[in-house]
Copies of this chain bind each other. A is one copy, B any other.
């Protein structure tokens, strides 16, 4: 792609969010009073005092769904219901994850469970998951059932990743491949489906859907690798998290797992440090970060992120995509994975 005509990704994201939001709002408006209030707050549409909210996240998944439809030669409109569905599934998983992880804040606001209690977060998440299926199955597209089936299998993958994450926390011997597979479930699967669902709804041929799905999976994996690097070496001013935050919480992230498993003496020292409990001083956290680096975790994760990003771009070639939206997908992939670390 020629750098001189690089798409403006933030404008692209805003445009896609604006295109999907009315349908998303109409879907959420069907929920029971309590779930609706909680979902509208969680999505950033309403502030705790009832005033209109500043809006939620970047809506990356709806943007992928709309680009997916356009890349397959259909109108953006064909992807809107897919964008609604993937955003609903994403927020179902956030509501349940915040509760399971005990996180009391998201984007500097109390999480739903912290504000309304655990039962509300469970029910509101359940409601959004069921709603994703409902909106798709109401769509007149003859391909809507295939899209709904894709959403169901993706949710199973998402849960597999999350369940493995829960199980891995109790294990000291998690391998790099297991950890990559967990990330493919937790992060990759829904991005893969977001990038494919517009094409599915448009009735695109198999190789087009597959190429878009592979692109989304590879972008998701690259994103996760970069996120894990930022969790150790990211600038708190940029990430919004405390310095060395993933080491502070003893998170078995990808670079940490790599160093422990394949990092020789430094890896063994890191494993021993991880097994010790209690808060650590910043100098100890810095020593642990140095062990991840000596054990090769930083270099491996950086190289792997680059490899997956290249893979994503290659997956779009030969998938029979329309040029303009394909260039936008490339730019969006780079935007998501080119963060500084």
Contacts and interface: CB of A to CB of B under 8 A. Distances in A.
Contact of A159 (B35, B99, B144): B35
A131 B119 contact: no
Contact of A122 (B35, B99, B146): B99
Nearest to A167: B34
A133 B148 contact: yes
B152 A133 contact: yes
Contacts of A166: 34, 117, 119-120, 123
A127 interface: yes
Most chain B CB atoms below 10 A, which of A30, A120, A160: A160
Interface of A is mostly: helix
Nearest to A169: B119
A111 interface: no
Nearest to A101: B119
Contacts of A299: none
Contact of A149 (B96, B138, B151, B155): B138
Interface in A237-255: none
B32 A164 contact: yes
A100 B118 contact: yes
A278 to B, nearest CB: 22
Contacts of A122: 96, 99-100, 122
Nearest to A164: B32
Copies, count: 2
A163 interface: yes
A64 interface: no
A280 interface: no
A100 B122 CA distance: 8
Contacts of A163: 32-35, 120, 123, 127
A20 to B, nearest CB: 19
Contacts of A146: 137
Nearest to A34: B163
A118 B166 CA distance: 11
A96 B126 contact: yes
Contacts of A114: none
Nearest to A150: B137
B152 A130 contact: yes
Nearest to A133: B152
Nearest to A32: B160
Nearest to A99: B122
A224 interface: no
Contact of A127 (B33, B99, B156): B156
A145 interface: yes
A100 B30 CA distance: 23
Contacts of A63: none
Interface string A300-311: 000000000000
Interface in A1-52: 30-35
Contacts of A152: 130-131, 133-134, 137
A226 interface: no
Given A126-B126, A131-B152, 18 more contacts: A31-B159, A32-B156, A32-B160, A34-B163, A34-B167, A96-B122, A100-B118, A100-B119, A119-B166, A120-B163, A127-B156, A130-B159, A133-B133, A133-B151, A133-B152, A137-B149, A138-B149, A144-B145
